[in-house]
Structures are given as C-alpha cells and as structure tokens.
Chains A and B, each alone.
Chain A
Amino acid sequence: MRIKAAFLAIVLFGFPFVTYSQQTCRADMTWIAFVNGIQNDIVDANWSAIALRDAHSSRVPSGEPVRYVRVHNPTAGDGVRGLFEDIIESTFQSWQIFGIRDFRDFWMHMLLPETGENSFLQEAMFAWVSSQATLNGIGTEAELVRQRHLNTYRMLLASGGGISARGNVILVAHSQGNFFANLATDDATDEEASQMRVVGVASPDNRVGLNGEYTTNSDDLMAQLFTAGRRAIGLSTLPPNSNGNLTVFNVASTTGGHSFIDSYLSGESDSREEILANIEAARASLRAGDMAACEQSGEWSFRLTSVSASTATRHTCSVGQTTCNWISGSEATDISALSSDNLLAATPQTRSAISYGVSERGTVLSASINSDVALESNAINRVPQGMTYPYSEASVGFVAQWELVAPSSFQFEFNGQSTHEFQIEPTQLPNTDGDPGSRASCTPRRLSLVNAQNGSTITFSSGHRTGIIGAGRYVARVEGGLAEAVLDSGRTFGTGYPDRSFQCSAAANWRLEIFAPQPP
C-alpha cells in the first residue's frame, strides 16, 4: 500500500549492545580505577588517585583513551564503622593523657602522620581497625560490599565508548582495597574477567584477583602487621616482593611505610616503577585481548536489509550530532551532556538508568551511513573500522534515519549476524513535542528503558520532559519487536501525562523507545 507524503522516521539508535560486545572489538576505553584501602581518609584517597593519574598518564601514548577513576572505600571500612565509633568513644579519655583535648586534636593526629605529628597514633588506631577488617575479610558486610563493587566495575565495563560499548578496567587496589577488588572480580563472568585486570599494592590478601601482579615492599611495617595477624588465625598473605628502599624517616613518618602516596608512589621507592610497570603490563594484556577480538570479527560490516519492497529518500541524522535528547528512567538528559565525565558525575539514579544505555554512545562506525545503499535489498555497507568520535564530542553511537513512503520491514545485521528486525508502518506523525532543539534534527525520544519478560506489560512514563503532544501515533520500538501507542493530542507531555502500557510480544530484554517523528 502506498501512502502519499507519508513519512516515518526509523532511527537506528542504540541497538542491542550485548550482541555487539560478543563479536566485535571490545574496549575503546581503559579505565584505571584506584581502589583505596580503609586507612585512607577522604583526602588521601583522592590524592592517591590523582597522584596515580599523574604518575601514569605520562606513559600513555597520546590519543590512547585512558581515564582515571576511583572507587571509594570509607575511612573505617564497610562493616567496621561501628567498631571505629566504639574506639573513638571508648578511648576518648585516653586521648587526653596524650594532650589530645578534643576532636580537632584527634583528627589532627589521625590525618597528619606525614608531618610527624604523632603518626603512631594513626598507625595504632588504624592498625586496630584494619586488623579487625583483615581478620574478618572485609568486615561483616562482605557480601554486600563485594556486590556493590562488582556493580561499580560493571558500570565501567559498560562504558567503553565504542560500538562494543565496553571498557577495559584495571583495578589498582591499595591495602584493604585488595579485598574488595579480589572478591568482586571473583564474581565476574568470563567475558567480564577478560576485560579486567587487578594490580595489587600492599595487599593484605593471599592472592591477586584474576591472577594479577602485585607490589608489596619489604619495609612496609603495616603489611607485616597484617601478615602476623592473619597468620595467627591460619591465613596467609602475599610475601613482600619489592625492596621499597625507603628511608627510615619515610617509614617512621608515614603509616609504617604503607602509604600509597608517601611510600609506594614516592620517588625514592622502587615500588613506584614496579606499580606503573604492572599497570602497563595489564594494559598490554588487555590490548592483546582486544586485538584478538578484532581479528576474529574481521572487517566490520553493517547491513540493513529491506525485507519488503519500498522506496525511500534518505534522511540522515548527522553522526555525532548532539541535539538529540533522550529520557531514560526518570531523568531527562541531553545527549551532549553524556560525556564520560558527566556520566560518572551524574547522580546514582541517573547512572543507574544510563547504565543500560551507555553502549549507545561512543564509536561511530561511519561518519556517513549511506542509506541509499542500505535500503537496497541485501546491500552491504562496508564501514571503516575504528572511526571513533572522542567522548568530548558526545557522539551517540550512530544515528541514521530514513523517511519512507511505503511500509517496509527491515532487518538489521552486524557482522553478518541478525540482531534486530522491525517493521515500519508509515503514518503521518507531526512532531510537536515542544522541543525546538530537536525539531529540525533527529528526534529520538527515549521515554523509558525497560527490561521486562516476554508477554509482560511494560509501562513508560514521560518523565521530566514537557511539551504538547501532537496528534498522531507514536512508534514505540522495543528490542526484538514493535509496539505502538497512540498518545492523546494537545496534552501536556510531562509528569502529568498518564503512563502508557505496552504488551510485550517478543523476547525478553525489552528496551522501549518512543520516537517523535519528523514533521512532514
């Protein structure tokens, strides 16, 4: 059936990333994540991660995408905060014997060992807390903590910025941070593990997650304390494997030669070079895995097949353009704001929502997808490999859009494997979504992102976006199928708009997107 002047936008936006990641080159981003130990106060935890970035970044060739993050472990450790508080309270009287008059003095002593201002108090206090944590693994909330850490690492794995939407992750764990890193990576899937490495520093554990390398100085007194404590209960620790070459002054004025910044990363220590070399070895190992994946997948190809006959004129949303908006979960986010920085700086809810969708950012396979060819039956677009838009341009994967004059079915393939089939019903859908920024460009509207079981009902809500709904039918594309809903015209499209429900009719892992169409 031919429908005059009928247009329908097909927006190839955010195809299922799972399929990509299984068969293509993987990471376009290597995340180096510092996992602090519980001896670290918040200043030191941050300073350590910054110092690591400072020390390591000069070794990364220009143009290689490496980003630095940190995973925070609290001062007193998960599960042992109560103990820390007990110690503060129960020993308050004792402080005064040593001239510690108040909490300010207490913290001055605790936080400033490097000044020689009673570093032993900090050592003693933390040694006690640490020994409790060490003896208990990572405290009484171990399961909860390991799961939280793994979820955090998974967020990085899913933030590669490439078409594969995957990142490589190198965990640089210091002290008790090794427990968290090791336990979390135990639970990683094989595929996840293949994209992760652990570099241990001053580890109190008896292993390194994912068989990684580690560095423990022979003059790390705190590590020796851990070893003694664990040995007393029949547990072992990794032996020192580095001559720290620390001066007596360094050991005495820091937390017993255990400090990541002052001892392990200090210029006078052998361990600095060894840690950086271990990180580089981990990066090389991960790159080798990426190369193998690339070679296995061969030349990337993109195939969009018109299953039924149709004619079409091309309408392509520019690749990397940043005017497309989306709404995910309860958060409205401009794609231009979806740089990796903003992604990580977003609130947890936003990140949680975005974590489903981060795969849709990053590498653009082709700066211009030739839809004239693509719309021919069985035509294949050869696209150059590795054309990557940097994060700063907030590329959104690839976005292509066609205006059709006939109904058609399409099949989307990647590397020869069909990943998606969808059907288009042309209809006139005026774009009156109230967003002038998107009016002249592609207008994908992700109103919600839902995982649901086959056959179940999924509901979207319009979230924060407001505007006036135009008359017509809006197409809801779901992963593996299509659903449609008619939205009322003239209604405020925002929080006041009633939720809409769709009946799922295909496989699980539904991803619902609503696309407001172009004006005719």
Chain B
Amino acid sequence: MKAKVQILRALLLVCFCVPTSKAQTTADLQVSAYQLVSSTRLDRTRFEYAYRIVVQNTSSAFATNAHGVVRSVAAATQVVDGDIFIGDVPPGAQRLITDTVVVRHDRLVPFITSNLGWTFTADLIQGATPPPDPGEQGTLTLAGIDSNANGVRDDVERVILIRHPTSQIRNALFEYARIWQDAFTGQQTTELAFAHMQRLTNSIACVYELDRDSGRLSLKRLLAEQLNTRERTYAYLRFDTLASSQLYTIPGATQASSQCPTGPF
C-alpha cells in the first residue's frame, strides 16, 4: 500500500488547479444606520471608532452570504477593518450586523458617515427563502440538517436556490437531491439501491431535457455537495456498489420530460 500511496502522491504533485465557486453578485443593500460600539483616543486629534451597521435589503431577492466592504473617500478618515460578514438579509428587511467596521478619524474635521462608501456582494435568491446555513453542525451526521423537513439537506438546498433561479430546474434538482438523501440515509440494501438508482436515472434524464448544456455540471456540483463528509462519501460508495450490475431503463425524451417534478418543494 505504501508504494501505491507514493505513486498517487507523485501524480498529485502535478495537480495545480483549485475548484471555483459561483461568483457573488453586487447586492442592493444599503446602510441605513450606524451604531457606535466603541471609541478609543489614539492621540490628540485622532480617534478609533468601531461601528455596527444596520443593513437594509432594498431588492426583491433574498441576499445570503452577504459581505460588505467599506472605503473612505475622506483623507481624515482611514478604514482599519472595513470588511464585514453580513449573512442573510431577506428582501425589504433591515438587519443590525454584529460584525463591526473600524475606522480612524482625525477630529480636526467632522466625521461624516457619507464619506464611507460601501460595496455589498451576496448570493441572491429569487422567489424563495433559504433555510439557515447549518455550518459545521450540518456535517456532524450522515443525514445532516433538514430544518424545513423537505427531504433535502439545508446546505444542499441553499446551493440549489443560490445557483438556480428558475423554478423548473430547481424542482428537478430538489428531486435529485432528495433521492441522494434517501439513498444515503435510509437502509442500504440491493433492493433499495436499485429503486433509488432508477429514480436517479429518471431524475437525471429530466435534467437532461431541461438543460442539456449545463445540467450535467449542475448535477455533479450538487453531488459534490452531497458528498462533503467522509461518512457521506462512504455511503455513496456503498450505494454505488449495491446498485451495480443491474439494469436501469433510460426513459425516452418525452417520458423524461413528463416525469420532471412540478413542485414547489
């Protein structure tokens, strides 16, 4: 085994790429208020201030994984820590952000908040409210967290909603994710693996009909999300083996389309 590992490591040495993630978009967020958290005098005229901000989402999209970066346009004001994590902001809502922005200001001139220019980025979700990000808690068990009990893990659901704005492909991917969840978390037997695999085949055929150009990529990205722990990876390998050597029907194009789920989920 040692030799095998060495060979594989040698192969890995020429690997240089890193996975990309979906670029976030500029979000219609704005600062509606500043709350002074602390004030520290640095010298005779300069002070360091820590502020919390109240962020308002002025768009109709749910902003998630939102970040804000502040820059100062005034020479008297320097940004010390201007990168804050905002998280989720529902459409139209305001949120007081716990993360603080830190600036140093020379009080020889007035401190004007409008001299702070903000850029907000976020993943925008149209027409749906995502479940909360389960974070590390979501990786502690095979099943993960499914807070809205729709059969799809919260972390996977968030990815679907973020990446896929249209309901048709969303529905198809929800079904696809649900089958994986069933395949991993229930009893793993040959019979069930067969049934789940046929469902997967139908589900993949549906996505094929909906989006031949990038559907496969979407399915594989989602599968990678499904397999984000060792336990889930091994469940996949077990399922993969149990479903082997069996026969699965490839539905025709019309049938595949008609089998696409209509949702909503």
Residues of A whose CB lies within 8 Å of any CB of B are 33-34, 41-44, 46-47, 49-51, 53-54, 57, 67-76, 78, 81, 83-88, 90-91, 94-95, 97-99, 102-112, 114-121, 124-125, 127-128, 145, 148-149, 152, 155-156, 180, 261, 340-341, 344-345, 347-349
Contact = CB atoms under 8 A, between A and B. Distances in A.
Given A112-B217, A117-B18, A128-B8, A152 B245 contact: yes
Grouping DSSP codes into helix (H, G, I), strand (E, B) and loop, the A interface class, with mixed when no group exceeds half, is: helix
Nearest to B250: A68
B195 A128 contact: no
Given A41-B223, A85-B237, A99-B18, A121 B245 contact: no
B245 A347 contact: no
Interface stretch (B86-94, B123-131, B197-205): B197-205
Interface of B: 1, 4-5, 7-9, 11-12, 14-20, 190-191, 194-195, 197-198, 200-201, 204-205, 208, 216-217, 219-221, 223-225, 227-230, 232-234, 236-237, 240-241, 243-253, 255-256
A281 to B, nearest CB: 21
Contacts of A91: 5, 8-9, 12
B114 to A, nearest CB: 40
Nearest to A97: B12
- Which 7 pairs, one residue from A and one from B, show the smallest C-beta to C-beta distance? A124-B11, A104-B228, A118-B17, A148-B245, A107-B224, A74-B240, A68-B250
A43 B11 contact: no
Contact of A71 (B18, B194, B247): B247
B247 A344 contact: yes
A49 B233 contact: no
A76 B243 CA distance: 12
14 contacts: A42-B240, A43-B204, A47-B204, A54-B208, A72-B246, A72-B248, A87-B4, A91-B12, A94-B12, A103-B232, A106-B233, A109-B17, A148-B245, A345-B198
B217 A86 contact: no
Nearest to A147: B245
A493 to B, nearest CB: 26
B5 to A, nearest CB: 5
Contact of A344 (B221, B236, B245, B249): B249
Nearest to B10: A124
A120 B17 CA distance: 9
A116 B16 CA distance: 11
Contact of A111 (B17, B220, B245, B256): B220
B207 to A, nearest CB: 9
Contact of B191 (A85, A156, A261, A349): A349
A75 B217 contact: no
A354 to B, nearest CB: 12
Contact of B12 (A73, A121, A155): A121
Given A107-B224, A118-B17, A71 B11 contact: no
B224 A104 contact: yes
Contacts of A112: 19, 217, 220-221, 224
Nearest to B7: A128
Given A74-B244, A91-B9, A50 B204 contact: yes
B248 A70 contact: yes
Contacts of B17: 109, 116-121
A67 B249 contact: yes
Nearest to B234: A85
A425 B204 CA distance: 55
B15, B18, B223: which has the most chain A beta carbons within 10 Å?
A: B15
Contacts of B219: 43, 47
B260 to A, nearest CB: 14
B246 to A, nearest CB: 6
A81 B237 contact: yes
B190 to A, nearest CB: 6
B11 A127 contact: yes
A46 B224 contact: no
